[in-house]
Structure 1
Amino acid sequence: MTVPAEQQIRAAFDDQTIRVYQAYSHHIADTALDKGTFISPPFKMERMTWIKPSFLWMMYRAGWGFKDEGQARILAIDITREGFEWALANSCLSHPPESMTPEEWIAYKHSKPVRIQWDPERNLLLEPQPYRAIQIGLSGDAVVRYVNQWIQQITDVTPLAHRIHHLVASGQPAEARALLPVEQPYPSPN
């Protein structure tokens, strides 16, 4: 088995869309599923919202949907690749590079509506891996674009998350692995 590059976007995608995941309360999830996008309220447009292309990293973050009521529902959101790539092109890392002064960092950060963070990817047991998964934080104009332009479909994958968790907990890793979404390296955008 080939170990992925340390920082490589891996996701389920096709020619038009890429799948990202988010976890929400029942109220936000039900409204989003009913309307086909996030509606404010209950969704808060003024807050940074984090999208995650990695299914297992989302499971780690939300505890398979059992962590707390605010993350009880796992949603798969298919967004346009054009929107995803716009987010990457209008992003900066969550932490400043050593080459920037604090003042330069503040100015640069305020010019970018998207934050990128690389965290250890997770396996079926939610253990950290030696390579990283990307988390993408959308704020300001990026959230508006996400909600109003990029979202193509929202699917509730909570039952899938619970099924995989049950299989892992009952010592059936092969069966659990067979249900995981297929995530491939995403072609590096210009």
Structure 2
Amino acid sequence: MEEPLRRIRALHMVSTITVYQAYSHEIGLPAVRDGRFPAAWKPDRMTWIKPSFMWMMYRSGWGMKEGQETVLAVEITREGFEWALQHACLSRYERGLHPDRATWQRDLKHAPARVQWDPERDLHLRPLPHRSLQLGLSGEASARYADEWIVSIKHVTPLATEIYALVRDGELDSAARLLPQEQEYPASAELLTRLCPDRQSGHMNRSGFGGGSMR
């Protein structure tokens, strides 16, 4: 069976979902210690959360890129995650999904969250045919994320380092066994239709969208 082009895949429990971010030690280590972001974290900036562990590895270079040395697994409430999705706008205009470009631009300007779909990555960080969700939070969504939704924050850079070492040594099966067990997130059909162009059109649209600077 062919993998759906866009589907939310995540490590999730009954009431929580895990998302990933990477920061400098200045931000990441106090966040792990205190279970919340420190004053150095700027709530007025858009912050991107990623349910895909492998996309975070691609983005952070296995936690070795400058300013992304502390990879965080942030467990948040599913209620908060779904609030963000319900108030999100796609990051790029899609004909047939939005009434017109002006309407999309207006919605994007006022939305506290935005959705991008970018190619999922394999253990060699190569792009796969299907796409992973990234969720940008700003304004009210960013504040709610930092102040209300966080259940726990874990330091997973050691895990990233261990998996990378196995990949480097060609031990792909062992590396794969260490990956978080991400499964399809049970988002409503209505929500996915609004956020997935291929579901709106009724066919698998292989043209991608997204891009931009994310942290």
**Normalising by the residue count of structure 2, what TM-score does the alignment of the two structures yield?**
0.84
Gaps of 5+ in 1: none
Match of 1:74 in 2: 71
Q: Partners in 2 of 1:133 and 1:16 — Cα distance?
A: 21
Q: What's the CA shift string for 1:56-97, capped at 9, x where partnerless?
A: 0000000000122x1011100000000000000000110122
Q: Partners in 1 of 2:87 and 2:48 — Cα distance?
A: 15
> C-alpha root-mean-square deviation of aligned residues, in Å?
1.2
Match of 1:127 in 2: 126
Q: Partners in 2 of 1:28 and 1:186 — Cα distance?
A: 29
The aligned amino acid for 1:89 is Q
Q: Partners in 2 of 1:81 and 1:116 — Cα distance?
A: 16
Match of 1:14 in 2: 13
Compare 90-99 and 75-84 and name the one that shifted more: 90-99
Gaps of 5+ in 2: 191-215
Q: What's the CA shift string for 1:146-166, capped at 9, x where partnerless?
A: 001000000000000000000
Q: Deviating runs (4+, > 6 A) in structure 1?
A: none
1:188 shift after superposition: 1.6
Match of 2:48 in 1: 50
Match of 1:158 in 2: 157
1:3 shift after superposition: 4.2
SS of residue paired to 1:71:
coil
Match of 2:88 in 1: 91
SS of residue paired to 1:64:
coil
Q: Partners in 2 of 1:45 and 1:81 — Cα distance?
A: 21
Q: What's the CA shift string for 1:101-121, capped at 9, x where partnerless?
A: 443233211221101000000
Number of matched residues?
A: 187
Aligned residues: percent identity? Answer: 50
